[in-house]
Amino acid sequence: MSSWIRRLGSGVLASTLVLPLTFTHAWADGWGGGSDDDSNEVEGTVDQTIVIEGDTVPGGSSTETVSVPARCWWEPFADHDTFRSFWQGALLAFPPLILLLPSPDYVDRIEEEEDPDDGMWYMANCIEFNIADFEKFLGTCQDWYPDACIPQVAVWWENTETEPPVVIQPEELALAAQAKLEIPSPEVDQNPKAAGTENTTLVNVDTGYWVTDPESVGGEDGTLTMRATIPETGTWVEVEAETNGLSISSPAGGTQCSPSEALNEWSPGEDPACAVQFERASTTHPDGFPVTAEAVWNTRWRGGIDGEQTDSGELDTITASETFNVPVAEVQSEVTTSD
């Protein structure tokens, strides 16, 4: 029975089980299946301990408990009587559900041998109850936790202090890992600066900028990487963020610089590697032109179970920016004539 779902092709499984599974969950809602716990404000997330390693992790590694998006999870029935009412009603209305629900012998044994206070009945649920998600969830769950995945949409869990394990797929872990990828905003220094000012520059003069933290542009190659692992299951992902460099923008001028150019600190006698020429004075902006330093990161991931890579994909773009004011003055020339 434990390999039944995996032996079916995806198309056969979908056509065979979509109706009964949808029916089962609609019936469960009517009998009080699922949790009424309002503390879980985001449906389909679970707390999971993960190990994080990478460029932006202080000390290179940390162990944290994070909220991970889970497309499938377990929800408890209120009590044993509620489960039995649902179970009996579902089988009477649609007998083929016996393939997905605990057998009568199993339910009777639980009633005879188990103390109701020592466990709880749970039902598997998925966001929008997608059959492909459910198939993947149970297929992996059978490998890791055969006692909790038989495969069935309802299970008895012999522990009231914990819940049945939720199987986190690599792509779900990748979303949590990306959220922990702390990319620093690109703080910059500038040259020239007019004497006696913080950062006043001049119209049509090459004003050089460089980042003070190399990680804000991913070093010279413009990349940052992170690895996240769930120790108890061996699920892992590697997230890579890549930027094409630093952009400087303002109402009066801007530029785009590669990571290596953005790292090149100005030194006397050299032209700035990353320079902006402001085309007019900032007379309309009393505090100076608002200037934004920005790095846009494309992120992707790969991951799997233990040493095997099973999947990969793209993640949302990350934008890190810092805005500051730059006063821009015009050079005043005084012309004198002699008699």
Helix (H) or strand (E) holding 143: helix 131-144
Percent of the chain with pLDDT over 90: 43
Residue 111 has pLDDT above 90, yes or no: no
* Residue 132 confidence (pLDDT): 67
CA distance 52 to 78: 36
Q: What does the pLDDT average to over 72-96?
A: 87
Q: Mean pLDDT check: name the lowest of 160-164, 296-300, 311-315.
A: 160-164
Q: Mean pLDDT check: name the lowest of 61-65, 205-209, 289-293.
A: 61-65
Residue 90 has pLDDT above 80, yes or no: yes
Percent of the chain with pLDDT over 70: 78
Q: Which two tokens stand for residue 160?
A: 């009231």
- What is the overall mean pLDDT for the chain? 81
**Three-state SS for 285?**
coil
Amino acid at 130: N
- How many alpha carbons fall within 13 Å on the CB side of residue 258? 5
Pairing mode of beta strands 45-54, 235-243: unpaired
Residue 123 has pLDDT above 80, yes or no: yes
Q: Mean pLDDT check: name the lowest of 156-170, 223-237, 239-253, 288-302.
A: 156-170
Residue 257 has pLDDT above 80, yes or no: yes
* Residue 13 confidence (pLDDT): 37
For residue 259, give Cα distances in angstroms to 188, 265, 300: 13, 12, 19
Task: Work out the pLDDT band at 40, boundaries 50, 70, 90.
Answer: very low
CA distance 34 to 26: 11
**C-alpha 59: how far from its chain's center?**
22
